[in-house]
Amino acid sequence: MDFHSFLIDEINNEISKKIEYIYSKYKFKYTLEYYIQNNKIDSLVLYEEPKKIKTHKKHKIAENRCEARVWGNGNVAKNGNNYIYGCQCKRSKVHSKYCNIHNKTLPHGNFFESVPHDHFEKYLRKLQCNNNI
Ligand SMILES: [Zn+2]
């Protein structure tokens, strides 16, 4: 038996108890068994929350590109004798070198300057982001 069958059985048991209670309290035309037999449920109508479809926004790489460094899954790539840490943000600059998000916060610094922390040091893997550099 599946979950809903158990649930329907339990609900029917509870309905029977309620009918017995009501029947003992008030007077009715037919027998107790009649009301129990005629007030059973055999299915449930379940109301599910509509599932929200997650849409993954893809950012087009802006021409006027924000200069912030983003984490990019901790990407570290070797570029000649230098290392490239993270990825460059793909959004457009807004009134400065950075996009609206990176105007507010710049946790990984400017992509063209040195990294302000050493969190990338434990990652040395192939650069997976599309930096076009
Ligand atoms: Zn940005």
The residue ranges of every structural domain in the chain are: 3-38, 62-131
User: Is the pLDDT at 42 greater than 60, yes or no?
Assistant: yes
pTM of the model: 0.48
* Predicted confidence band of residue 122 (pLDDT cuts 50, 70, 90): confident
Q: What is the pLDDT of residue 60?
A: 64
Q: How far does residue 1's CA lie from ligand 1's centre (Å)?
A: 54
Instruction: Give distance in angstroms: CA of 81 to centre of ligand 1.
Output: 26
68 CA distance to ligand 1 centroid (A)? 5
pLDDT tens column, 51-97: 777 777 665 676 899 999 998 888 888 778 778 888 999 899 999 99
Q: Of all residues in the chain, what percent carry a pLDDT higher than 70?
A: 88
Distance 122 CA to ligand 1 centre (A): 24
pLDDT at 53: 77
pLDDT of residue 57: 67
Residue 57 Cα to ligand 1 middle (Å): 15
pLDDT band at 38 (very low <50, low <70, confident <90, very high): very high
Q: What token pair was written down for 10? A: 């339990």
Residue 58: its pLDDT value, please?
Answer: 65
In the reported structure, the alpha carbon of residue 89 is separated from the centroid of ligand 1 by a whole-number distance in angstroms of 5
> Ligand 1: distance of its center to the CA of 30 in Å?
75
Q: Quick one: CA torsion of 103, 99, 85, 58, rounded to 10 degrees?
A: 140
112 CA distance to ligand 1 middle (Å): 13
- 115-130 burial code (b ≥16 CB/10 A, e <16): beeeebeeeeeebebe
